[in-house]
Structures are given as C-alpha cells and as structure tokens.
Amino acid sequence: MIHLFFYDLVAMPGSSLNPQDQLDAALEAVRLGRLAEGEQILKDLSRAAPDFHDSWGHLAHLLVQQGRIEEAVLCYQKVLEIKPGLPEAVLLLGDAFYSLGQHDRAYRTYLQLKGQPVFESKDLQIRLARCEPAWRLLLQRGLRKLPELGRVLVSPGFYCALGRELWLLPRSGSAIRLVGLKAYLAFLYHSLVREKTWHFPLQHCDLCGGNRFEVLFFHRRTKVVRCLSCGLETAERKPPEGQDVFSGFFEREEIIVGLEEEWSDPALIDVRLKSMKGLFRNLDIDFPSAGWKVFEVGCGQGQFLASLVRAGLTGAGIEGSKALADYCVRKYSLDVNATSLKALQPATANYDLVYTFHVIEHLDHPSELFQKAHQLLRPGGYLFIETPTLELDRLPLRNRLDEKTGYANPEHMHFFTHGSLAPYFPRYGFDLVGTYQYLSNGGFLGRKQDGLF
Ligand SMILES: [Zn+2]
C-alpha cells in the first residue's frame, strides 16, 4: 500500500507498541490479504491515538478498496480535522464524493486546493472538469459548438444515433449517475458530433455472440458495455482494425521516437521474458528453447522478438503499423510484415509459439487472434497472451479513469478480466495451461489441442 500521508507520530498510552509499529503491523496484514485484521488494528490505533492522522488515512484507503466509500469519507474528514487542508486528503475526499455520485460536493472539495501546486496538475483539472455543473458546461461551451453541430445536422446517421441514445437513456441511468451528467454530455458531443462514431456498426459480443449489453461507463467518445451473457466488456462502437490503426497513431514518427526509450528498456524485456519463463517452467519446459519457431503478433519496435532471436529462436511476426514494421526490419533485420491480423493468411501450421503483449485489448475482434494463432501453430504449440486484466468495474473510479489501464484508454477496444479472457481458449481449440497476474497485467498460456478443430 502506498504511504499517502505524512507521518506525525504521537505517543500511544496503554500500548506496548508505538503507533508506527501498529501501523506497520496493519499494513503488513493488509498486504498479506488479511483485510479484516488490518482494519481492526487501524481502528484500534485510531481510537487509542485519535490525532494520528496517518492511521485514519490508511483506514480510509482500505475502506475505499473494499467499496465502503461512505465510511471512508468519515475517515478522510477526520484526517482533515487533524491536518486541515492536507492536499492528498482533500483530493481523496473529493474522489470519494465523486464515487458516491455527489459531484457538487466533489467539485467544492477539489476547489479547496486552489492556490496549491496540485491545483494546476492535469489530474486535478480532469477531475474538476468531470464534476463541473452541467448548466455551466452547456452555457460556456455549448454555444461555441453550434457551428460544428450544424454540420452534422444534415446527416441521417446522426439522428439515428441520437434517437438510439435517447431510447437507451433509462438503461444508461446508473452509468450516467456514476460518471456525472457532464461526462455523459461530453460523450454525446464526442461520439455524435465530433468523432461521429455512429459510422462504426454495432457488433455482437466477440466471445459469445450475444447481443444484449448493459452500460458500464462513458468517457469522451467511448461507451463501455458488458455482455449480459458472458461478461465481456467492450467499447460499444469500434473502428475496423481498432482505434490505433484507424487513427494511424503508430505511423507517426514522433510517437515512434517517443516510445523508443520505454520499449527498449532492458527491465521491460527482462520482466516479460521472466513472465513467460515462469509459465513454461510450470510445464517443465525451458524457455526460450533454442530452435523453436516463434511468431509475435504486434511486434512494436521488435525489441522483444530480437531478444528471442539472439537467444537462438527463429522468429517472425506481424505489425499493424507500417512505420513500426519498417523499424523492426531496419534496426534488427527481423522477419516482420506490415499487415493486420485480419489480413494475415498463414500458409503453414509449424510455429511452436505465438505470443502477444498488450495487443489483444486493441483488437476489434479478439477472436481473430485465436483463429490465426490456431492456423499458425503446430499441434501442441503454445499461444501466450498478456493484457491488462483489472476488474475495473469493482475498482474505485480513479482506476476506471486511468488513461493507461482504465476505461479511459481510447485505444482499448476490450477490457478483459481473467474471467472474460480465459473462456476464449477452449472455444478456439486451446487448453489453458497457465496464467499469472502481475500488477495490472494478466498472462495466459494456451496449448493447441491435438484433435481437429
Ligand atoms: Zn458475450
């Protein structure tokens, strides 16, 4: 658990342990998953040393993690009684009000930070914008959008999409209450007027084929829905090939240059290698196994594939961005083709391993990855997938608003959990033979079944 509050130790009468030791014991219990014990220690500590604001802060954090937001609010308020204006506590109290749907209170709470450096941060400005009263938004910004609105008013598709949203309004109620009216109006503007996502067809669930969904979240142009049959979470409207191919994001030179440092980081390559090694070790397979033929879907700049080739494997792959594929060939002389998964036509099924890191969540049809991997692999060959697998719907709002791993990532077309990705394997002819969870990421290893599929 992150230490969110500054320490301010006070003596604790009647206890052999000082408050810091008790706090450490509580955090250790929480870290080991003994939440009730950790909570009890923190409560005892708060009672015995009521001015020790750090214990109130951690207690609040623990309650938020369990979805007990009302109780957390009381703890944050206690922190602020002890330490008036403590920025972290003000921010988290605002978040707690926001999670409860009390956007006005959240807005007023965030405003208390005015004049402090944190007030100028992007994070806080996003929060303020999300809970700014809707009437102010309409008045200040709506009028400026009128010319833009005029241009879409001549499109029949706009009226169909708007009518559909109005028709679905009763079923969108809980998601609107969660994100706030302003965020919903922003969604209507971005999806209907600015980006016209109604050009992209509505699709059945990629996993089970179901066509009944519940609305979970709105963020800018994205409406996140969940299949009522299987639980798969997805953006309701998806560009063909996914958003980053559609927008040409990874064709841009400045993006490629900007990502070079992150993707070349030996620590990243090492952690990925260790993750795969661990899964194979459980199967008594030494990975990377010299002589294996491996195929990467979404090679990026090719650093990981190049490391496997250096280890004695034969590697090939595809990359949706032509600029990135060229980079792989130019820098590492890799056998990487610029093509989409959809267009890939595997000629032979002789690969030992098909793998992919953080690609499947970008696909409009994740099932295509399984189909193509099945065509590429020899019988008994392996399919490895790593993707974010946070249970976003159960996490605090700030996790859902995370622009990397949350619903707010505009490039992510699907939001997997362990429960929604694992069923793909048997459905497409694989036995799921290993998994891991590392921070926000889930790893999955499947083995192609021997029989005909
Ligand atoms: Zn489904």
Q: What is the pLDDT of residues 384-436, one digit of tens each?
A: 999 999 999 888 888 898 889 999 999 999 999 999 999 999 999 999 999 99
| pLDDT greater than 60 at residue 5 | no
> Which superfamily does CATH assign the domain made up of 19-132 to?
Tetratricopeptide repeat domain (1.25.40.10)
CA dihedral 196, 191, 361, 308 (to 10 degrees): 60
User: Using 50, 70 and 90 to split pLDDT, how confident is the model at 452?
Assistant: low
* pLDDT tens per residue across span 342-382: 999 998 899 999 999 999 999 999 999 999 999 999 999 99
Q: What is the 3-state secondary structure (H, E, C) of 399-444?
A: HHCCCCCCCCCCCCCEECCHHHHCCHHHHCCEEEEEEEEECCEEEE
**Residue 410 CA, ligand 1 centroid: distance in Å:** 21
Tell me the CA distances in angstroms from 415 to 126, 208, 232, 341, 359, one per residue in order: 22, 15, 7, 19, 12
Question: Residue 435 Cα, ligand 1 centroid: separation in angstroms?
Answer: 22
What is the reported pLDDT for 11?
A: 38
Average pLDDT over residues 264-272: 93
Task: Please give the distance, rounded to the nearest whole angstrom, from the Cα atom of residue 207 to the centre of ligand 1.
Answer: 5
The model's pLDDT over 200-227, given as tens digits with 9 standing for 90+, comes to 999 999 999 999 999 999 998 999 999 9
Q: How far is the CA of 209 from the centre of ligand 1 (A)?
A: 6
Ligand 1 centre from 226 Cα, in Å? 8
CA of 205 relative to ligand 1 center, distance in Å: 5
152-156, 227-231, 236-240, 309-313, range with the lowest pLDDT: 152-156
CA dist list (Å): 317 to 230, 273, 301, 413: 31, 17, 11, 22
**What is the helix (H) or strand (E) element at residue 97, kind and residue range?**
helix 87-99
Distance 438 CA to ligand 1 centre (A): 26
14 vs 17, which has greater pLDDT? 17
Find the length of the chain: 453
How far does residue 164's CA lie from ligand 1's centre (Å)? 21
Decide which of 145 and 128 is more confident. Answer: 128
pLDDT for 376 = 97
Instruction: Please say if the pLDDT value at position 35 is more than 70.
Output: yes
At 451 the pLDDT is: 64
* CA dist., res. 121 & res. 185, Å (int): 24
pLDDT (0 to 100) of residue 258: 86
The pLDDT score that the predictor gives to residue 398 is 81
pLDDT at 44: 92
Retrieve residue 448's tokens: 């192609």
Ligand 1 center to 174 CA (angstroms): 21
- Please list the residue range(s) of the chain that carry CATH number 1.25.40.10: 19-132
Centre of ligand 1 to C-alpha 363, Å, is: 16
pLDDT band at 12 (very low <50, low <70, confident <90, very high): very low
If you average pLDDT over every residue of the chain, what do you get? Answer: 89
Residue 161 has pLDDT above 70, yes or no: yes
Q: List every span in the chain annotated with CATH 3.40.50.150.
A: 249-448
Q: Which CATH superfamily is domain 249-448 in?
A: Vaccinia Virus protein VP39 (3.40.50.150)
Q: Decide if pLDDT at 130 tops 90.
A: no
- The pLDDT score that the predictor gives to residue 183 is 87
Residue 234 Cα to ligand 1 middle (Å): 10
Q: Predicted confidence band at 14 (pLDDT cuts at 50, 70, 90)? A: very low
> Out of 113-127, 135-149, 313-327, which region has the weakest mean confidence (pLDDT)?
135-149
* Cα 194 to middle of ligand 1, angstroms: 29
Q: Which residues pair with 388 in a beta bridge?
A: 441
CA 383–ligand 1 middle distance (angstroms): 22
Query: How far is ligand 1, taken at its centre, from the CA of residue 189, in Å?
Result: 28
Residue 352 CA to ligand 1 centre (angstroms): 30
Supply the pLDDT for residue 399. 87
